[in-house]
A and B are shown apart, each in its own frame.
Chain A
Amino acid sequence: MSALWTIFRRDLTLLLFGAPGRGGALLPLLFFLAVAMLYPFAVGPDAKLLARTGAGVIWVAALLAAILPLDRLVEPDLEAGFFDQWALRGIAEEGVLSLRILAHWLSFGVPLMLAAPLAAGLLNLDGAQLWTVELGLLLGTPGLAAIGVTIAALTAGLRAGAALGGLLAIPLAVPLLIFGAGSLQPGGEGGLLLLAASSLAALAIAPFAAGGAIRAGRE
């Protein structure tokens, strides 16, 4: 069994089930559903308004849910010396972080996709809209995971890194939000292609940016 596979299993277990001081996948999921539930309370039960704006709310909720676990993606392992020990064994930061992006996506992107039908019910979305939302989440959440891990690596070890991380991640995630929510407008199917493109660009850059951030942090 290779070292990277062992590290990936540890990442996934930690991100899915959490540990004392680092909550698992449940928290972002409940947060996502809470936003979807609060929105109708705030704007009233007008079914047409909800159906028109609900998909956008799902995207905002997904973005915020992706930011929640930022402070435990990289910081605790950096603090405990895991990254130094991996580097010493010749395991590249880029490899570790690519797998961490995958583990992060599995622990927040996939649960959000599973919860989306419930959110769609709360927001009065019809079947076609739900289908587009699911497709959009499938294409967009890997990009959100990539941005999340990059920002987590950049802000690890800084004072107030968690709050700063949230602030830094939001502007980077704006293209994903625009294309994701835009794909739900009438005639907005092209948004899905742009969403996939932004997601791929984020995924391609993230391991190198995050790896560079961790190496720079050692100086």
Chain B
Amino acid sequence: MQPCRLAAYDLACRRGDRLLFRGVSFELHGGEALHLAGPNGIGKSSLMRIFAGLLRAYNGHVEHEGALALSDERPALDTHRPLGEALAFWRQVDRAGEARADFGLEDLLDVPVRYLSTGQRKRAALARLAASGARIWLLDEPLNGLDTHWGASAQAAIEAHRALGGIAVIASHQPLQLQKLRTLSLLEHLP
């Protein structure tokens, strides 16, 4: 697999007339994971969207080698379609194979997405992310709505992704059980 890299240089983010954080710099290489920590409203999701190129940084810039995949609070699955079809849409867009991690969705493939619970939708979004084949995973609160069992499975999937040389950035207010996890607390970057 080709190497991948995600680097941030002196990032600052402003929402409205409020500076959320500044001076965020780091560099991640294949196999590494970063935990973005901090209380609600400190700008974890905004930072994720800056990495994803969906939001312009107020200052600084981001460099990445390797495709990005983002999982946030919106699963981007057609709610009226059965889960299997909704996931197949993204598999076709990504021209990807079956997901490596299945997240226990086999029995739900015929169920329309709108009948799924919060946790089941979260698992579906993670399965979409895992199937995309992207090297850099941006996970915004990946454990929200997941019970202990599936929370552990999601973390195991992240470890498997890292073992294959991928990068994971995880914004979460929950503690994570990942090996050699680097932590970036946005509290240390308040303006």
Q: List chain A positions with a Cβ less than 8 A from chain B.
A: 1, 3, 6-7, 10, 14, 19-21, 79-82, 84-89, 91, 218-219
Contact = CB atoms under 8 A, between A and B. Distances in A.
Interface in B66-99: 67-70, 72, 74-81, 89-90, 92-95
Contact of A87 (B53, B69, B114): B53
A45 B77 CA distance: 51
A87 B75 CA distance: 15
Contacts of B72: 81, 84
A86 B90 CA distance: 10
Q: Give chain A's interface secondary structure class.
A: helix
Given A80-B76, A89-B94, A218-B54, 13 more contacts: A6-B89, A6-B92, A19-B78, A20-B80, A21-B80, A84-B54, A84-B70, A84-B74, A85-B76, A87-B53, A88-B52, A88-B68, A88-B69
B55 interface: yes
Nearest to A77: B76
A80 B125 CA distance: 12
B56 interface: yes
B92 A1 contact: yes
A80 B79 contact: yes
Given A19-B78, A79-B74, A80-B79, A88 B53 contact: yes
B93 A7 contact: yes
12 contacts: A7-B93, A80-B79, A84-B54, A84-B70, A85-B90, A88-B52, A88-B53, A88-B69, A88-B70, A89-B67, A91-B93, A218-B55
Interface string B113-136: 010000000000000000000000
A160 B175 CA distance: 40
A27 B135 CA distance: 44
A24 to B, nearest CB: 12
A80 B76 CA distance: 5
Nearest to A10: B89
A6 to B, nearest CB: 4
Given A1-B92, A3-B95, A82-B76, A219 B68 contact: no
Contact of A81 (B56, B74, B92): B74
A80 B93 contact: no
B93 A3 contact: yes
Contacts of A19: 78-81
Contacts of A218: 49, 54-55
B68 to A, nearest CB: 6
A87 B54 contact: yes
Contact of A80 (B53, B67, B69, B74): B74
Contacts of A21: 80
Nearest to A3: B93
Contacts of B70: 84-85, 88
Nearest to B76: A81
What 6 A-B pairs come out closest when comparing CB atoms? A81-B74, A19-B80, A81-B76, A6-B92, A3-B93, A85-B76
Contacts of A85: 70, 76, 90
Contacts of A88: 52-54, 68-70
A20 B78 CA distance: 11
Contacts of B94: 3, 89
A10 B67 CA distance: 24
Nearest to B112: A20
A3 B77 CA distance: 16
A219 B67 CA distance: 22
A199 to B, nearest CB: 30
B169 to A, nearest CB: 14
* Most chain B CB inside 10 Å of its own CB: which residue of A84, A91, A218: A84
Contacts of B89: 6, 10
B75 A81 contact: yes
